[in-house]
Structure 1
Amino acid sequence: MKWNSLPRSLVAAITAALALSVAIPAADAGNRRDEQDAARRAMLDGQVMPFAMIKRRVDAAVDGASYVGSEFNPSSNRYRLKYVKDGKVVWVDADGRTGDIIGMAR
């Protein structure tokens, strides 16, 4: 099938979908970088513990779950860590200042 035999609206829709599929991950990567920068600044300013220390504490509490990733909320200085255990996602919220676990959801 040739592109010129397709309706213009279909070609436009395909083009838009391809453009979005490239733009969304790039925007997400930018947001992720800002989040990492905020976490680093907070740690350097003494507002939060180093992430490695917090992660070690949480790792011990989730007993054998696989670490997937994390998010940092600079307004509350809290981390949300994501794990998978027995095929289920486990979210753990930790206070960045103390490293204490303040919530866990499955």
Structure 2
Amino acid sequence: MTMISALLLIAAPTAAAPVLDQRRSDQATAYAARRDGRLLGLREIEGRVVPTMKGAQYIGVDFDSGTGVYTLKFLRDGVVIWVDVDGRSGQVIGRTGR
């Protein structure tokens, strides 16, 4: 094993920790907001948006706890489509791709 490989193995878990902490924080924020009725649940958002994306494969979601926006990701004909949804109202507020 080279010195660079060894350093990468040591640094990798440390570099990933802030990302995991942020994801946990986003999940906790979303859960609390959903519980308190300030945010629609992911399943409700998916139930509104996924059926409108005919011919596209649903590949995942991101949630921004700062804005309360869900970003649903789809794939159609090799093109990624992002659909931004307001988590409070369930309204589509933006879309990129075709």
TM-score by length of 2: 0.83
Residues 35-70 of structure 1 show CA distances to partners (whole Å, capped at 9, x for unaligned) of 111111111111111110111111022213222221
Count of residues in Structure 1 that have an aligned counterpart in Structure 2: 97
CA RMSD of aligned residues (A): 1.8
Report percent identity of matched pairs. Answer: 33
Determine whether 1:39 maps to 2:30.
yes
1:105 CA displacement: 0.3
CA contact (8 A) 1:35 1:71 kept: no
Determine helix, strand or coil for the equivalent of 2:89. coil
Structure 2: 5+ residue stretches without partners? none
C-alpha separation in 2, matches of 1:20 and 1:87: 34
Determine helix, strand or coil for the equivalent of 2:58. strand
CA contact (8 A) 1:94 1:101 kept: yes
Higher alpha-carbon deviation: 69-78 or 52-61 = 69-78
Correspondence for 2:42 among 51, 54, 71: 51
One-letter identity of the residue aligned with 2:76 = K
- Find runs of 4+ consecutive structure 1 residues off by over 4 angstroms: none
Residue 73 of structure 1 aligns with which residue? 64
Determine helix, strand or coil for the equivalent of 1:89. strand
Residue 103 of structure 1 aligns with which residue? 94
CA contact (8 A) 1:68 1:84 kept: yes
Report which of the two structures shows the higher radius of gyration computed on alpha carbons.
1
Structure 1: 5+ residue stretches without partners? 4-9
